[in-house]
Chains A and B, each alone.
Chain A
Amino acid sequence: MTDARFEISAGFLPLLDSALLVAAREKGFAAAEGIELTLVRETSWASIRDRLAVGHFQVAHMLGPMPIACNLGLTPLAATTVVPMALGLGGNAVTVSNALWREMVGHGASGDLSPGAAGNALRGVVADRARAGAAPLRFAVVHPYSGHNYELRYWLAACGIDPDRDIEIVILPPPLMADALGSGALDGFCAGEPWNTAAVMLGHGRIVTVKAKIWRSSPEKVLGADARWAEANPDALAALLRAIHHAAQWCASPANRTELAGIMSAAAYVGRPAGWMSPALSGHLGTSTDSSVVVEDFFVPQARAATFPWKSHALWFYSQMVRWGQAGHSPENAAIARETYRPDLYRAALKPLGAALPGANAKVEGALPVPTPVGSAGASLVLGPDGFFDGGLFDPDDLDGYIAAQRVLGG
């Protein structure tokens, strides 16, 4: 018994950054667009990919690089997947075990979350362990085709640590990270929230740096849509994008943080205490049981065009697939990556709302040291600050040059 015009099923993983999809349903934004939105909690990204491929889901909460990997044929099974919208910026952190933190302090780590200082301290520990003949440190990420994997590797490599030779990187589901750290099975991990906060609250580890400091205003989760469905149902897709746009505005309002933390903590969503959700939403991160650091833009749900699917984000992810040997570089592969992200679909859906729409489809990543008004249609738009912690720039028009340069750097 429903008068919804559209029925859409979306898969998601229990992570804080599924908030935009969850709010679209729970706060009635989907219903207001005539959508009966069913959210299905999944246990792995593989399961989300498979169920999207066979039509159980029309859209899903996905890791930003995942749809590109699907379209490049790197995954075992995949439907052609398009990205008509991003689900916010930032939101991840790197957490290490208490034992590793003590060793890092011995090498000058200060706990201010600065990636350079933390990375240099970690390099000192890695060198000590190599001299002592100890096993390499073991870090975990959630998926090989993930922002987590690439930002961890970018950070390590920029600090002089070879992520393939000097340490070991394994794959682990995010809810298991904190316990693995506590049991000594892991020395560190890079994951989304609330799983870093979980490790801190349980006394198993210490947050040493965050995605928002490794690459400010950087892409993370996206809305992946089955390309066949998106093409056949443009009205349903546009309605969903509008609903998520309104949800993003709602999530971004500080007045709604407590309510959002409560919603996300429900058993059907993340299923963990609301107190675990709050740090990511407010930016007041507890980095250990007795210290905290404020990172205002830790997770950006809406400002700075946070839901716009930049082609430069897609191409940066692709450049890292090439860097770490997951994909070969060719003009055809680069085109597949570029065409996976679809700002045209985003614009078509949000233009009627008068939303702030960037004039360009791609931008030079890392070029805005301060908030900068940019050319836009609709409402005025401010982008940035953005930037890689090592001062790097990614110009999507010079993809070949970037890929060649990172080859020289190693990796």
Chain B
Amino acid sequence: MVAKPLAVLVIDENRIRASIIEAGLREAGHDDVTLVHDVAGIARRIAEINPDVIVIDLENPNRDMLEDMFQLSRAVKRPIAMFVDRSDSASIEAAVDAGVSAYVVDGLKRERVKPILDMAVSRFNAFSRLSRELEEARSELEDRKLLDRAKGILMKSRGMSETEAYALLRKAAMNQNRKLSEIAQSLVTAAGLLGDDA
């Protein structure tokens, strides 16, 4: 007997992350995946979708409301419990670390759900990594722009060459045990306040 495919509902306000999870689930052969980005009217949606597994980001501020609904609402045809198995503490930890919470209808076999949770956890982690890298790249670019402006200010106001300006900033950073970008930021801010920013 072939088991009926599991219906998976992903509730995530972050559309990019939701798509990344959806892609992972589809690659793994789960075709019955629904994404919901907005919890308005969620009770009706859950009744329509009748999901076996619900994946939500841990930080969703509506989780208290959703959990209450899973336990009580007539919209939910079958009671929904959390996670795969309370006794599987390694899975639970991995999920919470990654920022995933998953809810599963009662009585569903652990081995059927575990791969879905694992998939969600690894995709959440991948997404966090991606966001972090993007953020780092963005701040690196901004640091470089800031440094260029600080050098420009010194070159103009003190008649320095670019090399001299850079050396002065570096020396200040080393003396004050601060990052070069922080020194540059202070200088740009100060120049802005004094109104002589070029």
Give residues in A with beta carbon < 8 Å to B.
43-47, 50-51, 53-56, 75-77, 142-144, 170-173, 175-176
Pair B58/A47 contact, Cβ less than 8 Å: yes
Interface of A, secondary structure class, is loop
The complex places the Cα of A176 from the Cα of B39 at a distance, in Å, of 13
Pair B96/A173 contact, Cβ less than 8 Å: no
Pair B60/A76 contact, Cβ less than 8 Å: no
Pair B83/A46 contact, Cβ less than 8 Å: no
Pair A44/B96 contact, Cβ less than 8 Å: no
User: Which of B58, B65, B92, B101 makes the CB contact (< 8 A) with A171?
Assistant: B65
Pair A46/B63 contact, Cβ less than 8 Å: yes
The complex places the Cα of A279 from the Cα of B124 at a distance, in Å, of 42
Pair A46/B59 contact, Cβ less than 8 Å: no
Assess whether B188 is interfacial by the CB under 8 Å rule. Answer: no
The complex places the Cα of A77 from the Cα of B101 at a distance, in Å, of 10
B residues within 8 A CB of A51? 96
- Known A-B contacts: A53-B92, A53-B96, A77-B92. Give 16 more (CB < 8 A): A43-B59, A44-B59, A44-B62, A44-B64, A46-B63, A51-B96, A77-B86, A142-B64, A144-B68, A171-B68, A172-B65, A173-B61, A173-B62, A173-B64, A173-B65, A176-B61
Pair B64/A77 contact, Cβ less than 8 Å: no
B residues within 8 A CB of A144? 68, 71-72
Pair B63/A76 contact, Cβ less than 8 Å: no
The complex places the Cα of A99 from the Cα of B50 at a distance, in Å, of 37
Give residues in B with beta carbon < 8 Å to A.
58-65, 67-69, 71-72, 81-83, 86, 89, 92-93, 96-97, 101, 103
User: Which of B61, B69, B86, B96 makes the CB contact (< 8 A) with A54?
Assistant: B96
The complex places the Cα of A47 from the Cα of B62 at a distance, in Å, of 10
| B97 nearest CB neighbor, chain A only | A54
Pair A44/B86 contact, Cβ less than 8 Å: no
Q: How far is the CB of B37 from chain A (nearest CB, A)?
A: 16
The complex places the Cα of A76 from the Cα of B65 at a distance, in Å, of 13
B residues within 8 A CB of A45? 64
The complex places the Cα of A47 from the Cα of B71 at a distance, in Å, of 17
Interface of B, secondary structure class, is helix
B residues within 8 A CB of A173? 61-62, 64-65
Q: How far is the CB of A194 from chain B (nearest CB, A)?
A: 17
Q: A54-B93, A172-B65 are in contact. Are A77 and B60 (CB under 8 A)?
A: no
A residues within 8 A CB of B92? 53-54, 77
Pair A44/B63 contact, Cβ less than 8 Å: yes
| A44 nearest CB neighbor, chain B only | B63
Q: How far is the CB of A275 from chain B (nearest CB, A)?
A: 24
Pair A43/B61 contact, Cβ less than 8 Å: yes
A residues within 8 A CB of B71? 144
Q: A46-B63, A142-B64, A171-B68 are in contact. Are A56 and B81 (CB under 8 A)?
A: no
Pair B64/A143 contact, Cβ less than 8 Å: yes
A residues within 8 A CB of B82? 76-77
Pair A77/B83 contact, Cβ less than 8 Å: yes
Q: How far is the CB of B146 from chain A (nearest CB, A)?
A: 23
Residue of A55, A77, A144 ringed by the most chain B CB atoms within 10 A: A77
Pair A44/B83 contact, Cβ less than 8 Å: no
Q: List 24 A-B contacts (CB under 8 A).
A: A44-B63, A44-B64, A45-B64, A46-B63, A47-B58, A50-B96, A54-B89, A54-B92, A54-B96, A54-B97, A75-B67, A76-B67, A76-B81, A76-B82, A76-B103, A77-B82, A77-B83, A77-B86, A142-B64, A144-B71, A171-B65, A172-B65, A173-B65, A175-B61
B residues within 8 A CB of A46? 63-64, 67, 101
Pair A56/B96 contact, Cβ less than 8 Å: yes
Pair A171/B64 contact, Cβ less than 8 Å: yes
A residues within 8 A CB of B67? 46, 75-76
| B69 nearest CB neighbor, chain A only | A171
Residue of A45, A47, A56, A170 ringed by the most chain B CB atoms within 10 A: A47
B residues within 8 A CB of A170? 65
| B70 nearest CB neighbor, chain A only | A76
| B40 nearest CB neighbor, chain A only | A185
